[in-house]
A and B are shown apart, each in its own frame.
Chain A
Amino acid sequence: MITTDPSLQSVPIAHHPDPAVLLAYSAGTLCESVALAIACHASICRGCRDEIERLNAVGGAMISEASPAAVGDDALDRVLARLDEPVPPAPVAPHLDAETRTVVPGPLQRYLSCSLSTLPWRRIGRSLEEARLPLSGSGVKTALVRIKPGRSVPRHSHAGLEYTLVLAGGYQDNGEDFRRGDYAEFDSSHEHQPVADADGGCLCLVILDAPLRLSGWLGRLINPFLRV
């Protein structure tokens, strides 16, 4: 079981998105999945949230400074006529249990149909379980992934990019520790083998924009299961 001990949250976040990615988030350039990972990271990381606020302020200045384009004479009247229209009801949020609300950042909670414990987890080999998330973007796979305590993900590299955000527990990869809130981006030049903490395993949000390329015999064996 993944530990939800709040003391884990006081470990400072060590791995942040590149400022270029924060800019792309603020400008609205990211796909829904990567935007979700950044929104979740920034919901936990005040420093990155402040950076995004500053970038949003740049966007605000760009709107203020945009050359005004005349709107139709009836534009305001048309909007005034719609002010009393009923607001489309917000989708009913499913009940999420306390563990889920503690572990899953707000932006991601809106994509869950149920609590973590009742998600349709699918076993992949002996070390991993994944639950796909319903996000847009063809060829992009977005999933919650659990790595069992002390187990490793098969050594792999990537045809495209892999993005991970740790939500609970932690893992080690190439000698570095990744814990709650840590964000990592790996490209095709990067071969790695994350190993989950021995005491609690690891829960991550993982986004793949192309299938993994597994290395090693075990990888080739389970490769078909990991296809996007």
Chain B
Amino acid sequence: MFATALSAPFWPLPPHRRLGSIAERSKQLVARLGLTNEDLCKLMEAIAARKDRQAFSQLFAFFAPRVKGFGIRRGVEPAAAEEIAQEALLAVWRKAETFDRRKASVATWVFTIVRNKHIDLFRRHAYPEVDIEELAETADDAAPADRALASAQDGSAVREAMRNLPAEQLLILQKAFYEDKSHRAIADELGLPLGTVKSRIRLALARMRGALPEAVHDHD
């Protein structure tokens, strides 16, 4: 889809821009196309398979402004948020081979990279990550390795589930992700008992579980 779009643009470009840099062309392209998770997966796989700079440029055009916006929402100065966006996208390039579409959506995978960059920049330590390999070796765990949270791969299901969350539950998730607040800090700020905050988190998670069952199925 992208290869075709890039080789034969279907919108008229002014002549002086037609020979623009990769960066310029990607920006124009992504501005015109909404990218689905399937599109983003193909870009990731092109980067992993053949270090495809054009695919990277499109991925950058999609994610860099969002990652910067996410950082600003987390209270980071715009200049630092942009630095994080650049560092995170560079890490996306370097780690592209570890992306596995059966395990997570591109946005989810990028989120964990961005989160770790925030921690690295502001707290100066690594963030220990779950080691999925280990589960395959656990004696009692006969489930196939690709028994992923398949529906979590499709970002739209998550967004839909979030839209359906009661406002009081969504607020707590937003405070955790956007404001980096612990459940204790959230309870203090909202003047709620800790147990109330915990039970809202539990309810929100139960709803996400209902929306994102663990069966493997196709998304295309």
Interface positions of A (Cβ within 8 A of B): 6-7, 9-10, 18-24, 26-30, 32, 35-36, 38-40, 42-44, 46, 49-72, 75-80, 82-83, 87, 105-108, 110, 135-137
Contacts and interface: CB of A to CB of B under 8 A. Distances in A.
Chain B interface main SS type: helix
Contact of A69 (B81, B112, B149): B81
11 contacts: A28-B119, A29-B182, A53-B152, A56-B104, A56-B111, A60-B111, A60-B158, A61-B162, A62-B70, A70-B68, A76-B61
Chain A interface main SS type: helix
A59 B110 CA distance: 9
B159 A61 contact: yes
B160 to A, nearest CB: 9
B130 A39 contact: yes
Contacts of A53: 103-104, 108, 148-149, 152
Contacts of B70: 62-63, 66
Interface residues of B, number: 88
B128 A36 contact: yes
A80 B53 contact: yes
Nearest to A36: B128
Nearest to A33: B128
Contact of B123 (A62, A72, A110, A136): A136
Interface of B: 21-23, 26-27, 51, 53, 56-57, 60-61, 63-70, 72-73, 78, 81-82, 85-86, 89-90, 93-94, 103-112, 114-116, 118-119, 123-135, 138-141, 143, 148-149, 152, 155, 158-159, 162, 173-174, 176-178, 180-183, 197-198, 201-202, 205, 208-209, 212, 214
Contact of B183 (A23, A52, A68, A137): A23
B133 A76 contact: no
Nearest to B47: A83
Given A71-B65, A79-B60, A83-B53, A49 B132 contact: yes
A9 B140 contact: yes
Given A21-B183, A75-B60, 13 more contacts: A20-B183, A20-B202, A23-B183, A26-B176, A28-B180, A29-B182, A43-B134, A50-B149, A76-B26, A76-B27, A80-B22, A83-B93, A135-B125
A54 B127 contact: no
Given A42-B130, A60-B108, A28 B27 contact: no
Nearest to B198: A20
B205 A43 contact: no
Contacts of B139: 6-7, 9-10
Contact of B116 (A28, A38, A42, A68): A28
Nearest to B203: A19
Contacts of B149: 50, 53-54, 57
